[in-house]
Amino acid sequence: ILNVEQSPQSLHVQEGDSTNFTCSFPSSNFYALHWYRWETAKSPEALFVMTLNGDEKKKGRISATLNTKEGYSYLYIKGSQPEDSATYLCAWGKLQFGAGTQVVVTP
Amino acid sequence: GAGVSQTPSNKVTEKGKYVELRCDPISGHTALYWYRQSLGQGPEFLIYFQGTGAADDSGLPNDRFFAVRPEGSVSTLKIQRTERGDSAVYLCASSPGTSGGTGELFFGEGSRLTVL
């Protein structure tokens, strides 16, 4: 994988359901994987910076895992709420972003 | 203010005109990044400053694009002879550390450029 790829492109989730989505990145020369949340009309906000293979990070109902050997990270949202609606971006280092996964949580 | 400030928030211009977009980073942040985000895509890296110098300008698409950061704080992205394809949201971010560091980026709200 030469680029950062995110899938799916968009998700519709019912309030209360849990969901997860993927970021794939080059596994060579890895030093950091960033996750950001970007709500409409706001600036992207950092969620996690992950550096070690096997890293697991958690912030409230949102958590992320990292596999640097195979080049992927999962982001999980447990018990989705409407305020979780946003585009979630991952970035390999600081220079290469994925296209994002747009999450829409409906009441 | 405490965050990254970008002006203008919206700019509509005509094809062929010159445009300047300004970014005021968080005080004390030495690293500053410019990105461009087109519809349906993620932020595309343009240029990275460490202090006053452009440490990496490999993302600038062509010589119509230029950026400066003369005093190591405020940065201006300059676009000459704008084209319709330049229409995008231009995001600025700052960070306390270097490109190779693991510190998070702090983003502004972006400047939406529309070239008619």
pLDDT digits (tens, 9 = 90+) for B62-113: 999 999 999 999 999 999 999 999 999 999 999 987 655 567 899 999 999 9
The rounded Cα B7 to chain-centroid distance in angstroms is 11
Q: Which chain A residue has its CA at the smallest distance from B46's CA?
A: A95
pLDDT above 90 for A82: yes
pLDDT value of position B98: 60
pLDDT value of position B63: 95
pLDDT value of position A41: 87
Q: Which chain A positions have a beta carbon within 8 Å of B41's beta carbon?
A: 99
Q: Which residues contact A37 (CB under 8 A, 6 or more apart)?
A: A44, A45, A47, A86, A87, A88, A89
Both structure tokens of B1: 């203010």
**Rg of chain B (C-alpha set):** 13
Both structure tokens of B70: 């003369």
Both structure tokens of B88: 């995008």
A32: amino acid identity, one letter = A
Residue A92: which pLDDT band, with cuts at 50, 70 and 90? Answer: confident
**Preferred mutation among B6, B7, B102 to probe A, highest tally of A CBs within 10 A:** B102
Both structure tokens of B77: 């992205």
SS3 A95: coil
Establish if B102 touches chain A: CB-CB under 8 angstroms: yes
pLDDT in tens, A18-49: 999 999 998 887 888 999 999 988 999 999 99
Q: Which chain A positions have a beta carbon within 8 Å of B3's beta carbon?
A: 43
**Preferred mutation among A29, A49, A94 to probe B, highest tally of B CBs within 10 A:** A94
pLDDT value of position A27: 84
- The secondary structure of chain B in percent helix, strand, coil, rounded to multiples of 5, reads 5, 45, 50
Residue A93: which pLDDT band, with cuts at 50, 70 and 90? Answer: confident
Q: Does A32 sit within 8 Å of B42, measured CB to CB? A: no
One DSSP character per residue, B59-111 reads: T--STTEEEE-TTSS-EEEEE-S--GGG-EEEEEEEESS-TTS-PPPEE---E
CA distance B72 to B50: 8
CA distance A97 to A90: 6
CA distance B38 to B56: 21
